[in-house]
Amino acid sequence: MSASVGLPDDVVDDVDIADVDPAPTLLYAIKQVELAIRAHMDDLLRPMNLTALQYTALTVLRRRDGLSSAELARNSFVTAQTMGEMITTLERRGLVQRRVDPADRRRMLTSLTDDARVMLREYDARVDELERTMVDGLSPRQRNAFRDYLSACRNALGDPAH
């Protein structure tokens, strides 16, 4: 048994230790960043009784008013069923409103209410501060490059619409 890696000697002989990358994969690293952001966002938004996913949906509507539930789900990274439930909750709280699409009466379009816009403005600085904290160790040039790299990754996976 090889004491250095805890594997049988015959397995260790077949593995070139130089080929083993101790660093996590990029997918793992990205997921860890996402989880850290989510935890901080949940703490930040708790006083508003809002989840990070609800906040995401509201900010998507701020950028793209009048989306259908399915469009909002795709842009908010949740399933259509989850979004339907989320819209109902946000509508009950007076943060979104739905109206019939005049071009297709079968479609309902979702928009922010004035109350939601005020609430988002109140939290913009706090969310901006969280982002600044996250990239504090990066220069402005590195921050721009980081944003570009993330966009390139998203585009490579076939999701350029955001």
- Domains of the chain, residue spans: 23-129
Q: Are 144 and 152 in contact (CB under 8 A)?
A: no
Q: State the fold for domain 23-129.
A: Arc Repressor Mutant, subunit A (1.10.10)
- Kindly tell me if the per-residue pLDDT of 46 is higher than 60: yes
SS (H, E, C) the chain: CCCCCCCCHHHHHHCCHHHCCCCCCHHHHHHHHHHHHHHHHHHHHHHHCCCHHHHHHHHHHHHCCCECHHHHHHHHCCCHHHHHHHHHHHHHCCCEEEEEECCEEEEEEEEECHHHHHHHHHHHHHHHHHHHHHCCCCCHHHHHHHHHHHHHHHHHCCCCCC
Q: Which residue has the higher pLDDT, 162 or 139?
A: 139
Distance in angstroms between the alpha carbons of the first and the last residue of the chain = 52
pLDDT at site 77? 86
pLDDT at site 158? 85
pLDDT at site 125? 93
d(CA 57, CA 4): 49
What pTM was estimated for this model as a whole? 0.76
Residues 6 or more apart whose CB falls under 8 angstroms from that of 99 comprise 108, 109, 111
Q: pLDDT-based confidence at 2, cuts 50/70/90? A: very low
Mean pLDDT of all residues in 90-105: 95
Quote the percentage of the chain above a pLDDT of 90. Answer: 79
- Kindly tell me if the per-residue pLDDT of 130 is higher than 60: yes
Q: Which residue has the higher pLDDT, 7 or 65?
A: 65
Q: Cα–Cα distances in Å, from 22 out to 18, 36, 84?
A: 10, 21, 42
Q: pLDDT-based confidence at 23, cuts 50/70/90? A: confident
